[in-house]
């Protein structure tokens, strides 16, 4: 650990002037999970929809740190009603690499 409880700089990344990129993805469901009804107390309403298609948005984001200026960059991609596979993750990194490496 570095001073004040922070991690030290990566020696290999700084020696090679490498870009540090952290990638994460998530899925946001657009359907309501809590449903209210006007049913009387003790007589719960039967609300269907257990097997229906869920509307969702997949989001993948990347935070990058520049080796020279130590500035942070952020980019993200979204996909409606789908998910990001390995090929899409690599593709999104490839399209951002020009921005990350100054090309």
Q: Supply the pLDDT for residue 60.
A: 86
Domain membership flag for residue 62: yes
**Residue 83, by phi and psi: left (phi above 0), alpha (psi -120 to 50) or beta?**
beta
Q: Supply the pLDDT for residue 102.
A: 46
Q: Please tell me the total count of domains within the chain.
A: 1
pTM to 2 decimals?
A: 0.56
User: Which structural domain range is residue 89 located in?
Assistant: 19-100
Domain membership flag for residue 33: yes
Residue 86 CB-half CA count within 13 A: 0
Domain membership flag for residue 12: no
Domain membership flag for residue 4: no
Domain membership flag for residue 91: yes
Domain membership flag for residue 80: yes
Domain membership flag for residue 11: no
Least confident of 3-12, 27-36, 73-82: 3-12
Q: What integer is the mean pLDDT of 43-72?
A: 78
Is the pLDDT score of 101 beyond 50?
no
Domain membership flag for residue 1: no
d(CA 82, CA 12) in angstroms, rounded, equals 37
């Amino acid at each position: 650990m570095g001073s004040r409880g922070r991690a030290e700089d990566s020696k290999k990344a700084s020696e090679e002037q490498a870009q540090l990129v952290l990638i994460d993805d998530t899925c946001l469901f657009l359907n309501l999970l809590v449903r209210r009804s006007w049913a009387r107390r003790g007589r719960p309403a039967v609300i269907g929809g257990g097997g229906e298609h869920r509307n969702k948005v997949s989001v993948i984001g990347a935070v990058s740190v520049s080796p020279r200026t130590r500035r942070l960059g952020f980019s993200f991609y979204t996909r409606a009603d789908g998910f990001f596979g390995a090929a899409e993750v690599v593709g999104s990194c490839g399209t951002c690499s020009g921005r990350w490496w100054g090309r």
